[in-house]
Every structure is written in structure tokens, then in C-alpha cells.
Amino acid sequence: MTNNAPPQAQPNQDGDHVSLTTPLLSRHRSTPNSSSQVAIVGANICPIESLDYEIVENDFFRQDWRARGSIHIFQYIFMKWLLCFLIGIIVSLIGFFNNLAVENIAGIKFVVTSNMMLMGRYGMAFLVFSVSNLVLTFFAASLTAFAAPVAAGSGIPEVKAYLNGVDAPGILSFRTLVVKIFGNITAVSSSLLVGKAGPMVHTGACVASLMGQGGSKKFSMTWKWLGYFKNDRDQRDLITCGSAAGIAAAFRAPVGGVLFALEEMASWWRSALLWRAFFTTAVVAIVLRGLIDVCLSGKCGLFGKGGLIMFDVYSKSVSYHLTDVPSVLLLGVIGGVLGSLYNFILDKVLRFYNQIKKKGFVYKIFLACFISIFTSCLLFGLPWLASCQPCPFDAAEACPTIGRSGNYKKFQCPPDHYNDLASLIFNTNDDAIRNLFSKNTNSEFQYSSILIFFVTCFFLSIFSCGIVAPVGLFVPVIVTGASYGRFVGMLVGSNSNLNHGLYAVLGATSFLGGSMRMTVSLCVIILELTNNLLLLPLIMLVLLVSKTVADTFNGNIYDLIMKAKGFPYLEAHAEPYMRQLTVGDVVTGPLQIFHGIEKVGKIVHVLKTTRHNGFPVVDEPSVSQSAVLYGLILREHLIVLLKKRAFLSTSVPTGDHALRPFSAEDFAKKSSGNSDKIEDIELTEEEMEMFLDLHPFTNTSPYTVVETMSLAKALVLFREIGLRHLLVIPKIPSISPVVGILTRHDFMPEHVLGLQPLLITSRWKRLRIRFPNLLKLLGSHAG
């Protein structure tokens, strides 16, 4: 977020002492909050709207609510379950289609290349390989850059921000969905070191959002019967289910999907939602299971029996003893250090890429193409460094294999020999992971090959992640982690009861834990991926260690990206210094207030000259000598009233008649970017002189805080309930019954610190700089 007023730090040598004895701040009404909320969405700077989860309890709502029969209630509930069912079906079909397409496109590429190499035409093979990669990358990058720049990246930060109440334009549109699907297929097929899990989450969220809105208006694909949930609350629920379905489809991990949505994505959660997300992912699991049965009969081309991503490492008797614990702990520590380093470098690279991308389309696409060519050279060139190994006598699989899949790649080697580095690097990522996880192959890889592979993956995945294409992070992180895990396993060698494949699993776990910092959800995803419950205690141990180590250095990768993009994410806990401030210290003016019966001209003027979304409605003094707060009215509702021209000629209220011309449909939330604008409403001079009775449309139960409430507590209220506006009322009755309105922006640390420069020098701030994560922890404890 841009913070236009640079905090003017006033050097204060004696800050500690001062802060202990005097109030930190002089009470003053702050200057207008002029910093706008923008975010970098797909390398463009976009305005951001907040979502509103509050129920608008006005007369209209109450009548509508009372008039609803049990049929309506049944219909609502039935539709909500039906939508979850449909989301599950569609997301699983898309996930399956993605995998099918990737496996076939990449598969054909590898088969053709390998055949050429078998004939000794190495130069031609490289040409075919690199050109096909380049074409695929070019397609993905140009599609994304021209059609929907928002679709670039994994999409998880965007969806996470949306579920926190931040609506950036276009992130859940139909166009984004299409680009996400096809862009991701081509990007992954082009042998870039990128994943498909993150994009599947975004895809799931898009599907859910479109279903909830009843289709896409722009592409005139709308189904009225679906448009039942045109409000932010229901949309939030559906999108949470959609993102759970996305992970479930990507990893065939239904329980992991629910937990991922719960732990990483959602900012608000209810047990009813757990139940519905579980239903959605169960549908995904069952559909995928059916489709794989179809594929097992060989009707899916090169989409083999490996199925979706699924690395079965089950062995009947995994036995491990106390002696294995040190090496597992070591893996955890390595994962934590490497994970936080990964996050750090990735953040820097993304910021650097953003500078390049800002220069225009050509630069964006050139960058992607450059990365593609670089990747092709590495993938094709590095295996030549590895020496050929003779095939083992007792190999469980064919050795060497030609074409794709299989543990032992022939590459340039003579017959009965294989190239171990090629088996990893000259392969799809899924197959590389499968090779690393494989058991009874302890002597397959050389130290040097694994090390080269690890370094390549580590940096290549960082450089590939920021290109303008829909690419995810999960698979690169798994592959990188598995490589050093296997390396550690080889070092430990026969001193351990665990085979090298299990070390690779633990390595992947540790690197995931170190960079993504999830706990339960990662644990379950890994278990579901590897189908080995006996590893559970070791996986938990590794995750605990790696997350703890990494948390001391920096934050979770998605939070870093979200911050870099500028989404005003509202944390659940308050910063410690917010306890020293009251809401009166941060509330900004000037405040626009409407009267209960207001002149049309004034409403139009205010709507045109401000960008506020909620306005307090006050009633004229009657018994008391000061005005009385009646409630809060929303901009979008005012625009509906103006459009319907339900005006009064005099300032006398008409009562319930005012509600007649309106239906619930009128007040339904428009999909993002499609809302009506005040500029589109043309009113005559005469109409401008008329009046509007705002009472029936005013939310009479807005949440309020007294101006002396501490900012930290107001933040807890704002965040826990999911508000867009929080009215501040005066402590001592004064002329105006409302002091101001707090919005998301007023709680952002950047804004608060900008208003209160003294805080920068106070000890909290210094403590915060010294131990950023420590205080975060403390804040979350105390909150």
C-alpha cells in the first residue's frame, strides 16, 4: 500500500522514559485520510474495494425477512448445497483436465526428444526441446499479459486477500479463470519449474465466485436461478469451499484441502463452513477417483497409472528408532533455514521483476521467454555433467527407460547404463518427485547429481515464479525439498533405518514447512500425497522444527507476496502500540452526514465528490437539543434509490409505502466491477430539488464504538465481525452524534504510524523492528 505521507520521525533520545510517564500522544483530530488504497494486481496498479460482511438491518430487510416462508429457507439451503456440489464437480473436472493436458503435452515432448537422442541426433533433440518449451511459454505469457494480467502467479495471495475482505478488480472473473487454466497448462508443459496447485486454488475460487454470481455478465453467460448469493457473506463461504476444492483436486487430498482453506486461506471460519467445505472436497475426491478408474483402463493417452500427483511411498513396516531422530531434526533445521532464505530471495526477485514488468508488455514476455530458454539449456545441458551409471541387477523397473517416466533415464548413456541426473532433471516435475520418493533405490543417485539438482531447483524455481504466467509454488518447493532430503539420507546412509525415499519425503516436508509455514494442513497433505500414515510422528516433528526455525527469520511466503502486492490485509491481532491509541486518534475527517429526509441534490453532490461507501444518517433534534444517530446508509443503496427515482416532493415521510417499488433483487450486490456508478444517473433540475426518505433503507443497527475506545479493541471488533464501516460516537454528547467512520484503511499499521510519527521512535516500534515476529506472536497472544 502506498503511504504518501512519509513518517516524520522526531528524534527523541529519551523515548523510553517519556513513554512511561506521559501520555504518548496529544489528542488532536487528524488530517484527512488521503492515502488511497491500491494494490499491484498483475503488475498493474488497481484501486481496491473492501467487502462488507455486515447484515444491513434496515426496514426493507426486516420486511423481506419476515415475508420469507419456509419454502424460501429450504430453497436457500438447497441451493447452497447444490452450488457446493457443482463447484466440486467442476473443479475436479478442471483439475483432471489440467493433469491430462500437461501429462500428454509434456509426455509427447519428452518421447519425441528421447527418440531423437536414441538416434544420436542430440542437436536436433535440443532444438525440438527448447523450441517447444519456448513456444509453450510464449503462449502462456502472452495470453496472461494480454488477456488477464491478474492471472499471473499462483493466485493464492489474491484469494487469501479476498477472503480477508479485499476486493481487487477482476481477480475472480471468467476471463481470469480461462487464462488461469490454459496459461497454467502450457506453462507447466513447457518444463518450467512451476507448479499447478496454486493456480488450481485460484481456479476453484473463480469457479465458486462465478457460480455464486450466476455466471459472467460480460460473456452473457448468466443463469438467473444461480444468482442466489449476491452478497459478500455467501460469496465468501463459496469461495472458501472453492479454494478447498482446488487443493483437493490438485493433490487428490480432500482432507488436506479443507485444512488448507481453513489454515491458510480463510480469515473467518464457522463450523457450518467446515462441513460444507468437507462436502465439496468429498465430491472432488469421489469424482477424481471415478475418472482415474477410467484412465487406468488406458484411455487417457500418456496419462499413466501414476494418476494425478500421488506419490505412494507405503511400506508395510516403517520402523524408526531414537537413532533416526537427530537426522530428522537436522532436516527440520535445514528446511527452516533454506525455507526462510527461499522466501527472502523470492521476495527480492519478485520486486525486481516488478520493475521490469512495469516497462510494458514486451518486457514481460521477453522475461518469460528468457527464463524458458535458460531453463531448457539447464535441463538439457546439466545431465552431460553426470557420468553414466551401470544399471543395477536387481532393478525393480526397466533400466534404462526410454521416453518418459521410470527411474532410470538413458539420456546419452550407452546401453545398460543410465544417467541419474537426467532421471531427475530431464523429466516432468511429478516424475522427478516420484523418483526421489522411490524406495529400494538407495544406490541410484550420486552425491554430485543430487547436489546439482538441488541447486538448480532452488534457484530456477525462484526465477520462474515471477514470470507473467499462472504458475504455482507447491511443486517446485516439494521437488527442491525432496532433493536435499534425499541428499541427507545418502549422507546418513546405513546409519538409519529409513530408506532414502522417506528422507526425500521428510526433506520435502521440511522445505514446505520452512517456506509456507502451515502445520496441520501440510501434514495432512503430505500424508495424503504419500499414503503412508506410519510416518506421521516424523512428519510432525519435521514440520514443527522447520516452521519454528523459519519463523524467527521472516514470514510465510504468501504473506510476503501479499505485502509486496500491497493488499491491505487485516491481521487478526492488534499491534502492541495500538493499545496506547484510542480510535479518536486515528479517525479522520471531514465526515459527510445525511439527514433522515435529505435533498436529492445534496446526495448526488456528496456521492459525486467523495468516494466514501457508507454515510451516517442523523435525525434532526426533537426532544433533546442534539441530533440523534439513526444509522448508516450505503453508497450502493443510495444509487439504487436514485435510479428508481422514489423521490418525495416535500420533506414529509411516507412510511412503509416507500418500500413498495423495491425488491430484494434491487439491493443485491453487483459483481465486482459491474456496480452502477453515480455518474451514470441523470437527474433533472426539478428532481434535484426533491427529497428522499432514507429511513427505510438505513441500517439501524450499525456497530459503534465510543471515541475513547482503544484502537486495539476496535480492531478486534472490526476484524472479528468482518465490518466495512465502524461508526465512532462521541463520549460526551455533542452537536454531532457521530465523530467519524473507521474503515479497513484506518487500522493499517502504515496509516496509523503515518498519523502518529511519535510512535516510530517509541520503544514498541523499536522492539518491533528488532523482533518483528516476536511481537506478532505476542500480539496474537494478547489479542
State the Cα–Cα distance between residues 701 and 773, nearest whole angstrom. 37
Residue 572, interface with its own copies (CB under 8 A)?
yes
Which residues are CB-neighbours of 755 under 8 A, at least 6 positions away? 30, 31, 585, 586
| Packing angle of the helix pair 122-147, 361-381 (nearest 10 deg) | 150
Residue 57 or 676: the one with the smaller Cβ distance to its own copies is 57
- Per-residue mark of binding to its own copies, 604-643 (x: CB under 8 A): -------------------xx-x-xx--------------
Residue 263, interface with its own copies (CB under 8 A)?
yes
Residue 274 or 681: the one with the smaller Cβ distance to its own copies is 274
* In the complex, minimum distance from the CB of residue 440 to its own copies, in angstroms, rounded to a whole number: 16
Residue 527 or 642: the one with the smaller Cβ distance to its own copies is 527
Among 10, 448, 663, 780, binds its own copies (CB under 8 A): 780
* In the complex, minimum distance from the CB of residue 391 to its own copies, in angstroms, rounded to a whole number: 27
CA atoms within 13 A on the CB side of 296: 6
Q: Which of 723, 742, 725 is nearest to 165 (CA)?
A: 723
What's the CA angle centered on 74, arms 72 and 75, to 5 degrees?
60
Site for its own copies in 401-440 (CB under 8 A): none
Site for its own copies in 58-117 (CB under 8 A): 62-63, 65-67, 70, 73-74, 76-77, 80
Among 294, 385, 396, 777, binds its own copies (CB under 8 A): 777
**Strand 704-706 versus strand 726-729 pairing type:** parallel
* In the complex, minimum distance from the CB of residue 779 to its own copies, in angstroms, rounded to a whole number: 10
Residue 272, interface with its own copies (CB under 8 A)?
yes
* In the complex, minimum distance from the CB of residue 255 to its own copies, in angstroms, rounded to a whole number: 6
Residue 536, interface with its own copies (CB under 8 A)?
yes
Q: Which of 531, 505, 560, 561 is nearest to 335 (CA)?
A: 505
Site for its own copies in 192-231 (CB under 8 A): none
Residue 285, interface with its own copies (CB under 8 A)?
yes
Residue 176 or 281: the one with the smaller Cβ distance to its own copies is 281
State the Cα–Cα distance between residues 168 and 521, nearest whole angstrom. 27
- How far are the Cα atoms of 334, 340, 411 from residue 337, in angstroms, in the given order? 5, 5, 34
Q: Is the peptide bond before 383 cis (omega within 30 degrees of 0)?
A: no
Residue 263 or 750: the one with the smaller Cβ distance to its own copies is 263
Residue 187 or 518: the one with the smaller Cβ distance to its own copies is 518
Among 298, 326, 381, 537, binds its own copies (CB under 8 A): 537
Among 37, 281, 428, 672, binds its own copies (CB under 8 A): 281
Residue 771 CB coordination number (10 Å): 13
Residue 398, interface with its own copies (CB under 8 A)?
no
Site for its own copies in 299-358 (CB under 8 A): 314, 316, 321-322
Contact call for residues 514 and 342 (beta carbons, < 8 A): yes
Among 6, 13, 20, 680, binds its own copies (CB under 8 A): 20
Question: What cell numbers appear for 117 in the block?
Answer: 537422442
Site for its own copies in 736-775 (CB under 8 A): 767, 770-771, 774-775
Stretch that binds its own copies, among 271-279, 461-469, 470-478, 751-759 (CB under 8 A): 271-279
Query: What are the two backbone dihedrals, phi and then psi, of residue 693, each rounded to the nearest 5 degrees?
Result: -90, 105
- How far are the Cα atoms of 102, 103, 367, 388, 745 from residue 143, in angstroms, in the given order? 17, 21, 14, 41, 34
State the Cα–Cα distance between residues 201 and 436, nearest whole angstrom. 26
Residue 147, interface with its own copies (CB under 8 A)?
no
* In the complex, minimum distance from the CB of residue 642 to its own copies, in angstroms, rounded to a whole number: 27
Among 717, 736, 750, 757, binds its own copies (CB under 8 A): 717
Among 390, 663, 701, 772, binds its own copies (CB under 8 A): 701
The helix/strand/coil state of 422 is: helix
Among 127, 329, 534, 591, binds its own copies (CB under 8 A): 534
Among 217, 579, 643, 645, binds its own copies (CB under 8 A): 579
Among 226, 286, 402, 681, binds its own copies (CB under 8 A): 286
Q: How far apart are the first and last CA of the chain?
A: 24
State the Cα–Cα distance between residues 131 and 117, nearest whole angstrom. 16
CA atoms within 13 A on the CB side of 606: 23
Site for its own copies in 509-528 (CB under 8 A): 519-520, 523-524, 527-528
Among 269, 361, 363, 553, binds its own copies (CB under 8 A): 269
Q: Which of 388, 724, 345, 283 is nearest to 557 (CA)?
A: 345
Residue 388 or 775: the one with the smaller Cβ distance to its own copies is 775
- Helix, strand, coil % in the chain, rounded to nearest 5: 60, 10, 35
Residue 387 or 780: the one with the smaller Cβ distance to its own copies is 780
| Dihedral sign (CA 608, 613, 619, 620) | negative
Q: Which residues face 617 on adjacent strands?
A: 594, 631
Residue 536 or 664: the one with the smaller Cβ distance to its own copies is 536
Burial grade of 159 (CB within 10 A; 0-12, 13-18, 19 or more):
buried
Residue 17 or 608: the one with the smaller Cβ distance to its own copies is 17
* In the complex, minimum distance from the CB of residue 663 to its own copies, in angstroms, rounded to a whole number: 17
Residue 721, interface with its own copies (CB under 8 A)?
yes
Residue 552, interface with its own copies (CB under 8 A)?
no
Q: Which of 101, 157, 56, 781 is nearest to 428 (CA)?
A: 101
Residue 159, interface with its own copies (CB under 8 A)?
no
Q: Which residues face 216 on adjacent strands?
A: 221
* In the complex, minimum distance from the CB of residue 558 to its own copies, in angstroms, rounded to a whole number: 13
* In the complex, minimum distance from the CB of residue 322 to its own copies, in angstroms, rounded to a whole number: 7
Residue 294 or 491: the one with the smaller Cβ distance to its own copies is 294
Question: What cell numbers appear for 164 in the block?
Answer: 480477508
Residue 274, interface with its own copies (CB under 8 A)?
yes
Number of residues in contact with its own copies under rule CB under 8 A: 97
Helix or strand (DSSP H, E) at 729: strand 726-729
Among 64, 234, 636, 676, binds its own copies (CB under 8 A): 234
Which residues are CB-neighbours of 109 under 8 A, at least 6 positions away? 128, 129, 132, 133, 189, 191
* In the complex, minimum distance from the CB of residue 523 to its own copies, in angstroms, rounded to a whole number: 6
Which residues are CB-neighbours of 90 under 8 A, at least 6 positions away? 207, 211
